Each structure stands twice: as C-alpha cells, then as structure tokens.
Amino acid sequence: GYYITGHTNADGGRIALTAEADASTIYYYKDTHLQAYQSGKYIALNNDHYTFDKPAEGDKAAITASVITFATSPRVAGAYTIKSADRYLHYKSISETEVEVDRCGSDEALRHDWYLVEVEKQTITYIYKAGETELARQTVTEFAGMPYPASNVTLPWGYTVPTDALTGNIPVGEAEKVIECTLSLPFQFADSYDAIETNGFWYYLKFDSGNNYYLYHTAGKNYIALDSKDTKWKNKDLYSWGFVGDPINGFKIVNKAAGSTMILSSSTTMAGETGADTWPIMTVEEGLAEGNNTYWIPTDASTHATNGFFLAQKGFPNNRLNNRGKLAYWTGGAGSGSTFVVEARPFGPAAELAELLSE
C-alpha cells in the first residue's frame, strides 16, 4: 500500500483532508476509493485518481465531483505534484488531530510537493478475554488508520464479541487489542452444589429435540432413564439438574435427589456402536474410577432447538450425550438426538405451589 505525505510541515506532512465550512477547502470522507486516517493523519493511495463523495446527511458539506490526479503516474515512491480539478494541492495548516489542505491556483509558489511512500501493514493480535481468562487469539494485518478487520474466531459456547468492540480505526503502532467478551447462557451456574441449592439453580433437562424426553436420576440402576414430563411425576427432585463450574473449564452436572456427593459420569472409553453401550450415571465423585470424566463441555445446538446445546465429556469432544433408548453417547456426530434444552424449576414455596396447581 502507498501513503501520500508532504514535506512542508513539522508533522512530516501526513495529511487528512478535513471537513470545514469554507467551500474552498478540499473535503474528504471515506468512500470506496480512499481511506482517511483519523489517527495517523495520512491517506492511502491505491490508484491514479480519487473521487471525493458527499458525506452522509448531518455531516459538514463537501465538494462533490472533485478529483485528485497526479502530474505523473504514482507507481513508485517519490515526490509528486497533485491536482484537484484545475487546482493544485496546497498545505494550509496543521493541528494535533488534522492537517487542512487547500486547492491553490496558478501560483507556483503555493504548489507543494507531496511524497508517495510505500508502507507495510501492521500485524495486530486480538486477545479475547473474559475477565482475567483468555479465551482465544486472532492475528490480523491492516494499515494503520484503517478500520479494524472483522472478528473471526470460535469462542466457548455462550461467549460473544460485543458489537462495538472493533469500532474506530487502528492506531499507529498498535500490536495487541484486548476484546472483553460477554457471556449469555440459558442457565445459571455456581461453584458448588450448596450454591446451586441456595440459589435454586435447578433445571429440568429436556433431551432429544425430536421427542422431548426429560432426564431423571434412576437411582439403583446402571443407566439414566428418559421420560416425558407430565402429572405422573412422583419426585421432581429426580428430574432436577444443576451445573457446577463454568463454561471455560467445564461443568460438573449434579442432581438434586442424588445429593452433593454425586456427579454425572461415565468411562471416556466408548463401548458398543458409536458409544451406544456406555451409560453415564450419577456416581460418587470421591474415588471416581480412573478413566471416568468429571466435567462436561456444552457447545451450541441452536440449529436444532432454541437455546439448545450439546454436552460432551471434557477432553473428548466427540463423546456427546445422546438418546440411545437410555442416556448414552453418539460419537459419529451430533443432531437433534443429542440436543438439550433447560427449563428452570420454580424456586421458592409460592412458585412451587403455582407449578403444582398448573399441573
């Protein structure tokens, strides 16, 4: 890329064509031909001539159909005289934030030489964070003063990049840009079973978006059964699930009826066709068998259900929970049969009574 710079002022002559009320001033606003640099006070040149378009309504007026051309073809770095229509580009004044440029007439004393300088793009690393935790990195390259390149990175489920995170233009010399991400999940989580219980962060887990089963703790059996939510529920605590942990490091999945010492777990070695014969159950966490998982990682399944998510064993992203007649796995992919949706269990006596009456 090329930048045009002048040699007639103390700032090195880098120019931005400014918007002033005086109609004699050459005005510049960003269009498809040229980019004005707010921070570096220079403009990028990529062709022989540039049209300065009228700015959006509400901005200061601009000269329309005004064209900048070079006296000679600017294909290499060097000094050139620049014309706008029948007048020459002339340095007028400079401030801390902008340089004003006029068009002068035939007076050769007012004609200034402007240098075309080839420059390299900057390399910038976007650092995506959630508080003190780094989520991801992305490397982009672009000229200083240009708009930031778009975000293109995969973040943990629930984290998004704010819409205003990459507004403005790239400062000269910027090498890193920290982007604070926001979190939005369809369920609340906590750092302990007791905190789940205290805050009432219990959920009914609807499973398999094609059939809408509900998971419940099948105490005393070597599998977890699937059922439909109806008025035949005898013990809603069996159907109540909580998430202990966080979306970055994973969640322990607990059950209200199973109590604080048990978590959902199974072997990470799959049995049967694509995991059909590996059945996670509520297991005592202390002394968990070697090779069993402790944590689960949720990932997006919103194409199968609103706010839907998959659950896979941490470190084994293909080991996703699935409906195989009972709670098991499907390692060959993920679809509606692996999709979970949460329904918040009413918390507090009044809310629980209202739920009971509604049934």
Distances (CA, A) of 210 to 195, 207, 309, 318: 33, 9, 14, 21
Is the per-residue pLDDT at 221 higher than 70?
A: yes
pLDDT at 145: 66
pLDDT at 193: 97
Q: How many helices and strands, by DSSP H and E, does the chain display?
A: 2, 27
Residue 187 DSSP one-character state = S
Confidence of residue 354 (pLDDT cuts 50, 70, 90): low
Q: Is the dihedral of CA 38, 42, 46, 48 positive or negative?
A: positive
Residue 289 DSSP one-character state = P
- Rounded to an integer, what distance in angstroms lies between the CA atom of residue 207 and that of residue 330? 14
Q: Is the dihedral of CA 94, 100, 105, 111 positive or negative?
A: positive
Average pLDDT over residues 311-321: 97
Average pLDDT over residues 147-157: 93
Residue with tokens 């402007």: 114
Question: Which tokens go with 180?
Answer: 């604070």
Residue of 291, 294, 317, 289 lying closest to 245 (CA atoms): 294
DSSP assignment of 140-158: EEE-TTSBPPPP-----TT
Residues 6 or more apart from 70 whose CB is under 8 A from it? Answer: 48, 49, 80, 81, 82, 83
- Rounded to an integer, what distance in angstroms lies between the CA atom of residue 79 and that of residue 267? 72
Question: Which tokens go with 20?
Answer: 């002033």
Residue 169 DSSP one-character state = B
Q: Which among 47-56, 165-174, 217-226 has the top mean pLDDT?
A: 217-226
Between 41 and 73, whose confidence is greater?
73
pLDDT in tens, 94-126: 444 444 455 566 666 666 666 555 556 789 999
Strand 122-130 relative to strand 176-180, pairing: parallel
Is the per-residue pLDDT at 236 higher than 90?
A: no
Residue with tokens 């919103």: 302
pLDDT in tens, 49-82: 333 333 333 333 333 323 445 555 555 555 666 6
Question: Which tokens go with 74?
Answer: 């600017």
pLDDT at 76: 58
Q: What angle do CA 114, 2, 23 make, to 5 degrees?
A: 50
Is the per-residue pLDDT at 90 higher than 70?
A: no
Question: Which tokens go with 247?
Answer: 């979306």
Side chain identity at residue 156, one-letter code: P
pLDDT at 143: 72
Confidence of residue 227 (pLDDT cuts 50, 70, 90): confident
